[in-house]
């Protein structure tokens, strides 16, 4: 089942399913009720029921169609059919059946609400419910006003109040359950309506009830009178007729005629007189008296105004036997005559002779229609609208009926067959009469008629076909056991009450409409300010806190609006202050970053600190800023810079603080934690500086590198609470940067100092040594080689001159320098075709290599020379017994040379007679060189030893300096490593990816990172795409390596900027020129952010972030861009540097090959030859010259 159902609704959406279910329910209800209506229609046969049957079938079709439409998701059409069917059948049923209007109205409203609740919402729901309500009103109106005859089901009427009550209760509960959801105005209108309509309804109800009561009482009175009058007339007729017969029977002519022998009667004078008499009686009512006859004692009709009866025997007739038996006049019941087919009433009286013997009977026969005539006359006289009078006999057979004569002779309920036979026997009914023909079936009337002695006034249906309840009053006749009932349809005399009901209904409706109007107006005026206030509150909730609630009234709502405005003002104030605080903080961080950037330029420490202090003071609007540095001993804080005059003064006098807890700065340095004194006035430990009297708040932030405190940044403000813990993060960041800068500056200073010393020393040495080496004794003053046409040959004098001249032409020339001293030249002549990238550098590098190697070789050769000289001296010492000197050399760090090997020297060398020379570096004695066995007068030996000692000192110093340089370099490497780690995203692709990801702007679908290439003049020559990013949608990002010449980039100015540039929608941006717009359209660039990348060297490129849909860059996003820019710039720069270094490495490789070859050389000449050849090979130069010359420098 479930499976079948879901399969059926496979393509149906949620709404459609709802509709389908409801349509199916309605269809089911229709199917269930159909047999009932078919049964009723066939049973009753009235056209009204066939109409209802038709509408039910239509409803079935409509709901079926609705189900089909729902399945196809055509819910609007489905709803139209479903509710259309419902809205159609309900009024039609009301028009066809009496008294169901209210129930149907309630039902239609309930059903509509239920359907709508399940399927609709918003305006559509309201509209549909409204339609349901209108249909309900229409239904009630039809029920009240419909003019034609309608079917009636009394059983239904009995249940209607209960059904209606249940329905109304249901609606009430439903309405109350939804009470919370209703808007204020709905509640108010509802309240107004309830307050108005409930009292009105109660008043109308009781008024109507009393009206009905009065009308009923009046009707009862009138009917009772009418019935009494009719009864009285009938009695009068009966009695009068009886009296007539009785008195006429006394007439002597009757007795006289009877006394005559039958033979003498005909044609006798007596007979004439008799007939005159009889006719006189008959003429009393020529229409109804059908016969006046004289019957003799044998029962024979001997004289009769109705000739046909003369001679017939009436002996068995009761009207004859009864007077004969009891001597009293007699009135018969209605008797049927088979002969004439007529009903008659017989009045008879005995005729007596003078002796009083009964000798005959006088009989008067009345047409039974006389009763009808009397009743009709009576009813007409009473003149009660629609009233009628009925005469019932003792068997409740109708003898007369003023309104429906066709019911005459019919009994109220069917007779039993025995009773029928009995009545037929008594001539009360025709012999051929059947029960069906002579009866109606009005059980209630029968019961009421049986009980009239207790309840003479009652209501019952007097005729089955009229189908309406009648109010009746009954009176018993005196002369006969008959009942006279005067009746009037209840609806007739209740017409004024119904008119009143209608008038009330109209009035209530009108009042409801008026109240609804007034109510909606009042509700509007009451709720509108609240609604507006709500709207204002919602606006504020949405973030717009500039809105103001308008105060329209002076009542509670006005007060509320005022309070509301106050509240929003406070809120605004609060938010503003919050924003200010955030802005302040951001600004502080930005300032800190700016200060950090500016101090990161490594400069002279004191200048840098001075600048930093001033910058911090001015940027943060402080009173005074100073920087202390720890001294080498870590015991004191030395003031290195301070702002303004006070700073100069303090620095000038070498202000220092002990590194302990006694001072704020000391404490900060000791505890490695910032010390903040928000308000100096309230701080007990604060000791004011007499030079800085205005300090109201102070902050000391330790400058820490790693774990080491290098100093303290001290800030002072004239304003209390200006320096608070809130500002601490900004200053701590600043302090960190400052600390690193100080560290860097220190290291730099040390390194530079060391290098300068080494260089100076090396130069001095090189110059001296080379001058010594190329002394024109051992070596010629000049030497050079030329590599030309794959041959190396010595450089001639002429060529030397030429090569020097050619340096200015199309060639690379590089001096061969050793520690800054130019010793010669390396020249590579170039033709047009032999361009090698960075060939110049290569030449330079080879020149350096040559320089280094020839230096090494020179040293080697010098060493050889010294060794030779030393050997010579040694030999001389040996010869002169300096072995003893060696043995007597100094105990401490001494070595002696015993011709074979150098050994640690033990023993006291000073005791020996030896030449001892101090080993000095810059006039400092480091040790001594002692040579034993040298005569102090041996000037030649002394000279040598002196020379050796000097060399030794210098060498030792040189080695020491080299160690120091190595340390500085290692530290720099560490720094570099740290920064490399910082820029973890070594890959530019990854960098762009990370950056874009960090943006978190979903619209962005691609990004490119372009690098600028500058020409010699410092302007941008072209740009390269060095990284890109693409999220996989839209256009692909420009591929890496794309090269854009400057002329292609018309929009170049957009990329060159000190600040990021944002296009929210490039399509509609004035800054984009027509040509660029074409590109923009081609690439579908909508939102674009151009992020210039700046380093200290200038702009190195830009990061361009693009989106294919317009995007409004928020302040946060632009801020993020600005914050990221320097980082990206640094990383990009690093990356490019790295790439450059890689290229460098390639060159190094080439260089290595040359170097190895150079190093394999054993002579200076060979070096120069190799340099010339290899360079020439490597660079493909037509001619390379490697030349050494000391000619001008000796």
Partner 1 sequence: MKTYRFLSVLFLIIFLISACGAPAVEHPPLKLGWSLWPGWYPLVIAQEKGFFEKHGVEVELSFYPLYGQTLAELDSGKVDAGALVVGDALPLATDGKTKIVLITDNSSGGDSILVPADISSPAELRGKRIGVGLGTFGEVLVREMLKRNNILIGDVTLVDVPPEKLPDALGKTVDAGHTYEPFTTQAIQGGYHAIFSSAETPGLIPDVFVFRSSVAAERPEDVRAFIAAFFEAQEWWLANPDEGAALIAQATGLTPADISTDGLKLFNRNDNVNAFKPGEDTTSLFFTTQLYTDFQILTGRLNSAPDLNQMLDASFLPQ
Q: Which residue has the tokens 């001290």?
A: 714
Decide whether 136 or 813 has the Cβ nearer to partner 1: 136
Q: Which of 250, 283, 577, 970 binds partner 1 (CB under 8 A)?
A: 283
CB of 1081 to partner 1, least distance (A): 44
- Whether 691 and 716 have beta carbons less than 8 Å apart is answered as no
Tell me the chain's radius of gyration from C-alpha atoms: 69
Query: Rounded distance, CA 1159 to CA 860, Å?
Result: 13
Q: Which two tokens stand for residue 71?
A: 């399945």
Query: Rounded distance, CA 232 to CA 239, Å?
Result: 10
Query: Rounded distance, CA 1032 to CA 1039, Å?
Result: 14
Q: Which of 307, 543, 693, 1041 binds partner 1 (CB under 8 A)?
A: 307
Decide whether 367 or 1130 has the Cβ nearer to partner 1: 367
CB of 340 to partner 1, least distance (A): 5
Count CA atoms closer than 13 A to 49's CA, side-chain side. Answer: 17
| 288 counts as binding partner 1 under rule CB under 8 A | yes
Decide whether 403 or 435 has the Cβ nearer to partner 1: 403
Which span sits near partner 1 by CB under 8 A: 308-316, 410-418, 585-593, 770-778? Answer: 308-316
| 91 counts as binding partner 1 under rule CB under 8 A | yes
Decide whether 95 or 420 has the Cβ nearer to partner 1: 95
For the segment 390-429, give every residue that binds partner 1 (CB under 8 A). Answer: 402, 405, 408
Q: Which two tokens stand for residue 1139?
A: 């790439």
| 286 counts as binding partner 1 under rule CB under 8 A | yes
CB of 133 to partner 1, least distance (A): 11
Query: Rounded distance, CA 1163 to CA 1167, Å?
Result: 6
| 311 counts as binding partner 1 under rule CB under 8 A | yes
CB of 72 to partner 1, least distance (A): 22
CB of 1010 to partner 1, least distance (A): 59
| 926, containing H or E segment | strand 924-932
Torsion of CA 563, 564, 566, 567, to 10 degrees: 120
CB of 279 to partner 1, least distance (A): 7
Decide whether 342 or 748 has the Cβ nearer to partner 1: 342
Query: How close are the terminal C-alpha atoms of the chain, in Å?
Result: 116
Buried b (16+ CB within 10 A) or exposed e, 192-201: beeebbeebe
| 1110 counts as binding partner 1 under rule CB under 8 A | no
Query: Rounded distance, CA 139 to CA 154, Å?
Result: 19
Which span sits near partner 1 by CB under 8 A: 304-312, 538-546, 669-677, 973-981? Answer: 304-312
What DSSP character marks residue 52?
A: H
Decide whether 57 or 273 has the Cβ nearer to partner 1: 273
SS3 per residue for 600-630: HCCCCHHHHHHHHHHHHHHHCCCCEEEEEEE
Which span sits near partner 1 by CB under 8 A: 108-116, 127-135, 1031-1039, 1105-1113? Answer: 127-135
CB of 143 to partner 1, least distance (A): 11
| 306 counts as binding partner 1 under rule CB under 8 A | yes
Decide whether 271 or 938 has the Cβ nearer to partner 1: 271
CB of 94 to partner 1, least distance (A): 11
- Whether 670 and 647 have beta carbons less than 8 Å apart is answered as no
CB of 369 to partner 1, least distance (A): 4
Torsion of CA 743, 745, 747, 749, to 10 degrees: -150
Q: Which residue has the tokens 């009707």?
A: 219
Which span sits near partner 1 by CB under 8 A: 213-221, 306-314, 348-356, 798-806? Answer: 306-314
CB of 405 to partner 1, least distance (A): 4
For the segment 751-810, give every residue that binds partner 1 (CB under 8 A). Answer: none
Q: What is the number of other CB atoms lying within 10 angstroms of the CB of residue 717?
A: 25
For the segment 131-190, give every residue that binds partner 1 (CB under 8 A). Answer: 131, 134-135, 138, 141-142, 145-148
| 279 counts as binding partner 1 under rule CB under 8 A | yes
Q: Which of 19, 257, 275, 458 binds partner 1 (CB under 8 A)?
A: 275
Query: Rounded distance, CA 1104 to CA 1010, Å?
Result: 8
Decide whether 305 or 500 has the Cβ nearer to partner 1: 305
- Whether 554 and 569 have beta carbons less than 8 Å apart is answered as no
CB of 102 to partner 1, least distance (A): 18
For the segment 228-267, give every residue that binds partner 1 (CB under 8 A). Answer: 266-267
For the segment 327-366, give every residue that binds partner 1 (CB under 8 A). Answer: 340-342
Decide whether 130 or 417 has the Cβ nearer to partner 1: 130
Which span sits near partner 1 by CB under 8 A: 33-41, 370-378, 792-800, 936-944? Answer: 370-378
Q: How far, CA to CA in Å, does 866 sit from each of 769, 860, 947?
A: 12, 10, 10
Q: Which residues pair with 512 in a beta bridge?
A: none
Decide whether 142 or 758 has the Cβ nearer to partner 1: 142
CB of 128 to partner 1, least distance (A): 10
For the segment 671-690, give every residue that binds partner 1 (CB under 8 A). Answer: none
Q: Which of 18, 369, 501, 1135 binds partner 1 (CB under 8 A)?
A: 369
SS3 per residue for 261-295: CHHHHCCCHHHHHHHHHHHHHHCCCCCCEEEEEEE
| 693 counts as binding partner 1 under rule CB under 8 A | no
Judged by DSSP in three states, 119 sits in: helix
| 388 counts as binding partner 1 under rule CB under 8 A | no
Residues 894-933: x where in contact with partner 1 by CB under 8 A, - otherwise, as a string: ----------------------------------------
Q: How far, CA to CA in Å, does 947 sit from each of 499, 876, 929, 953?
A: 149, 16, 11, 10
CB of 420 to partner 1, least distance (A): 24
Edge-first strand order for the sheet with 1020-1030 is 1043-1045, 1020-1030, 1004-1014, 1098-1107, 1087-1095, 1061-1063
Decide whether 305 or 643 has the Cβ nearer to partner 1: 305
Shortest CA distance to 358 belongs to which of 274, 297, 294? 297
Query: Rounded distance, CA 502 to CA 494, Å?
Result: 12
- Whether 492 and 385 have beta carbons less than 8 Å apart is answered as yes
Q: How far, CA to CA in Å, does 1115 sit from each of 572, 594, 1122?
A: 20, 20, 10
For the segment 92-121, give every residue that binds partner 1 (CB under 8 A). Answer: 95
Q: Which of 187, 265, 352, 373 binds partner 1 (CB under 8 A)?
A: 373
Give the count of residues interacting with partner 1 (CB under 8 A).
46
| 370 counts as binding partner 1 under rule CB under 8 A | yes
CB of 130 to partner 1, least distance (A): 7
Which span sits near partner 1 by CB under 8 A: 17-25, 369-377, 556-564, 824-832? Answer: 369-377
CB of 304 to partner 1, least distance (A): 8
Q: Which two tokens stand for residue 490?
A: 């209840």
Query: Rounded distance, CA 248 to CA 231, Å?
Result: 25
Buried b (16+ CB within 10 A) or exposed e, 779-807: beebbbbbbbeeebeebeeebbebbeebb
Decide whether 489 or 909 has the Cβ nearer to partner 1: 489
Query: Rounded distance, CA 112 to CA 278, Å?
Result: 81
Q: Which residues contact partner 1 by CB under 8 A? A: 91, 95, 127, 130-131, 134-135, 138, 141-142, 145-148, 266-267, 271-272, 275, 279-280, 282-283, 286-288, 290, 304-308, 310-311, 340-342, 367, 369-370, 372-373, 376, 402, 405, 408
């Amino acid at each position: 089942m479930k499976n079948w159902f879901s399969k059926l609704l496979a393509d149906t959406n949620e709404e459609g399913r709802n509709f389908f279910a409801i349509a199916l329910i309605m269809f089911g209800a229709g199917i269930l009720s159909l047999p009932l209506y078919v049964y009723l229609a066939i049973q009753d046969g009235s056209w009204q029921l066939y109409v209802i049957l038709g509408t039910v079938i239509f409803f079935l079709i409509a709901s079926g169609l609705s189900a089909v439409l729902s399945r196809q998701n055509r819910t609007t059409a489905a709803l139209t059919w479903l509710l259309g069917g419902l809205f159609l059948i309900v009024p039609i049923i009301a028009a066809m059946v009496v008294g169901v209007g209210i129930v149907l109205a309630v039902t239609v409203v309930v059903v509509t609400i239920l359907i709508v609740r399940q399927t609709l919402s918003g305006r559509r729901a309201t509209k549909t419910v409204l339609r349901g309500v209108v249909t309900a009103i229409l239904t009630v109106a039809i029920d009240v006003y419909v003019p034609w005859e309608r079917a009636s089901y009394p059983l239904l009427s009995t249940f209607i109040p209960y059904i209606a009550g249940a329905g109304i209760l249901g609606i009430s509960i439903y309405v109350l359950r939804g009470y919370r959801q209703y808007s204020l105005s709905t509640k108010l209108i509802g309240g107004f309506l309830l307050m108005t309509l409930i009292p009105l309804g109660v008043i109308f109800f009781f008024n109507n009830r009393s009206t009905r009561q009065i009308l009923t009482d009046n009707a009862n009175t009138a009917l009772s009178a009418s019935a009494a009058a009719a009864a009285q007339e009938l009695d009068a007729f009966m009695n009068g007729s009886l009296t007539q017969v009785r008195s006429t029977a006394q007439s002597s002519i009757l007795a006289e005629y009877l006394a005559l022998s039958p033979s003498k009667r005909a044609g006798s004078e007596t007979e004439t007189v008799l007939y005159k008499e009889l006719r006189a009686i008959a003429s009393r009512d020529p229409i109804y008296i059908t016969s006046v006859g004289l019957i003799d004692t044998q029962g024979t009709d001997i004289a009769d105004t109705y000739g046909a009866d003369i001679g017939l025997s009436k002996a068995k007739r009761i009207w004859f036997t009864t007077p004969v038996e009891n001597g009293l006049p007699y009135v018969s019941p209605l008797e049927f005559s088979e002969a004439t087919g007529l009903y008659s009433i017989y009045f008879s009286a005995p005729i007596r002779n003078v002796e009083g013997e009964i000798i005959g009977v006088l009989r008067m026969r009345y047409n039974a229609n006389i009763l009808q005539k009397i009743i009709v006359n009576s009813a007409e006289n009473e003149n009660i609208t629609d009233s009628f009078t009925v005469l019932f006999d003792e068997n409740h057979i109708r003898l007369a009926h003023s309104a429906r004569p066709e019911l005459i002779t019919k009994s109220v309920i069917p007779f039993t067959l025995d009773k029928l036979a009995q009545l037929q026997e008594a001539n009360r009914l025709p012999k051929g009469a059947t029960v069906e023909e002579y009866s109606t079936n009005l059980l209630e009337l029968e019961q009421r008629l049986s009980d009239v002695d207790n309840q003479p006034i009652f209501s019952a249906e007097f005729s089955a076909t009229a189908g309406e309840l009648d109010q009746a009053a009954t009176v018993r006749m005196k002369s006969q056991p008959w009942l006279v009932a005067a009746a009037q349809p209840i609806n007739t005399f209740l017409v004024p009450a119904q008119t009143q009901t209608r008038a009330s209904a109209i009035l209530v409706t009108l009042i409801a409409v008026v109240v609804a109007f007034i109510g909606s107006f009042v509700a509007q005026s009451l709720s509108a300010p609240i609604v507006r206030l709500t709207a204002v509150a919602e606006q504020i909730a949405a973030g717009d806190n500039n809105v103001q609630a308008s105060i329209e009234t002076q009542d509670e709502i006005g007060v509320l609006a005022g309070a509301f405005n106050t509240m929003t003002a406070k809120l605004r104030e609060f938010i503003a202050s919050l924003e200010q605080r955030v802005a302040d903080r951001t600004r502080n961080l930005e300032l800190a970053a700016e200060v950090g950037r500016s101090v990161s330029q490594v400069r002279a420490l004191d200048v840098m600190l001075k600048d930093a202090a001033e910058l911090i003071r001015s940027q943060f609007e402080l009173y005074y800023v100073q920087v202390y540095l720890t001294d080498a001993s870590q015991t004191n804080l030395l003031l290195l810079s301070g702002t303004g005059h006070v700073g100069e003064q303090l620095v000038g006098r070498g202000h220092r603080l002990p590194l302990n807890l006694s001072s704020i700065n000391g404490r900060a340095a000791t505890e490695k934690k910032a010390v903040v004194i928000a308000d100096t006035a309230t701080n007990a430990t604060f000791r004011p500086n007499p030079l800085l009297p205005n300090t109201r708040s102070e902050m000391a932030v330790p400058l820490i590198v790693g774990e080491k405190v290098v100093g303290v940044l001290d800030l002072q403000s004239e304003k209390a609470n200006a320096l608070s813990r809130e500002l601490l993060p900004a200053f701590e960041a600043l302090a960190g940067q400052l600390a690193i800068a100080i560290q860097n500056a220190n290291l730099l200073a040390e390194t530079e100092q060391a290098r300068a010393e080494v260089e100076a020393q090396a130069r001095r040495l090189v110059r001296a040594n080379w001058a010594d080496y190329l002394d024109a004794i051992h070596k010629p003053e000049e030497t050079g080689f030329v590599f030309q046409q794959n041959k190396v040959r010595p450089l001639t004098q002429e060529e030397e001159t030429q090569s020097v001249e050619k340096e200015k032409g199309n060639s690379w020339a590089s001096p061969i320098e050793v520690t800054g001293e130019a010793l010669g030249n390396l020249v590579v002549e170039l033709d047009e075709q032999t361009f090698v990238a960075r060939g110049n550098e290569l030449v330079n590098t080879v020149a350096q290599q040559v320089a280094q190697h020839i230096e090494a070789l020179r040293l080697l050769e010098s060493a050889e020379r010294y060794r030779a000289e030393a050997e010579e001296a040694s030999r001389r010492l040996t010869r002169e017994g300096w072995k003893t000197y060696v043995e007597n050399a100094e105990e401490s760090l001494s070595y002696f040379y015993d011709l074979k090997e150098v050994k640690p020297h033990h023993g006291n060398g000073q005791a020996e007679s030896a030449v001892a020379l101090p080993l000095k570096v810059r006039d400092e004695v480091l040790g001594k060189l002692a040579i034993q066995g040298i005569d102090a007068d041996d000037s030649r030996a002394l000279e040598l030893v002196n020379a050796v000692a000097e060399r030794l000192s210098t060498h030792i110093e040189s080695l020491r300096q080299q160690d120091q340089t190595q340390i500085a370099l290692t530290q720099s490497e560490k720094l570099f490593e740290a920064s490399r780690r910082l820029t973890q995203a070594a890959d530019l692709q990854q960098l762009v990816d990370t950056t874009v990801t960090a943006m978190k702007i979903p619209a962005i679908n691609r990004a490119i990172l372009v690098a600028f290439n500058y020409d010699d003049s410092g302007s941008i020559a072209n740009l390269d795409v060095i990284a890109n990013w693409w999220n996989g949608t839209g256009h692909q990002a420009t591929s890496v390596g794309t090269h854009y010449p400057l002329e292609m980039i018309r929009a170049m100015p957009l990329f060159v900027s000190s600040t990021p540039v944002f296009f929210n929608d490039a399509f509609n941006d004035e800054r984009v020129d027509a040509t660029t717009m074409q590109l923009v359209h081609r690439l579908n660039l909508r939102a674009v952010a151009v992020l210039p990348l700046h380093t200290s060297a200038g702009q190195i490129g830009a990061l361009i972030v693009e989106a294919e849909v317009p995007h409004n860059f928020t302040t946060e996003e632009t801020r993020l861009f600005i914050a990221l820019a320097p980082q990206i710039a640094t990383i990009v720069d690093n990356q490019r540097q790295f790439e450059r270094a890689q290229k460098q490495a390639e060159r190094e490789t080439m260089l290595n090959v040359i170097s190895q070859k150079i190093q394999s050389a054993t002579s200076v000449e060979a070096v120069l030859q190799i340099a010339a050849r290899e360079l020439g090979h490597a660079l493909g130069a037509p001619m390379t010259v490697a030349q050494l010359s000391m000619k001008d420098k000796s």
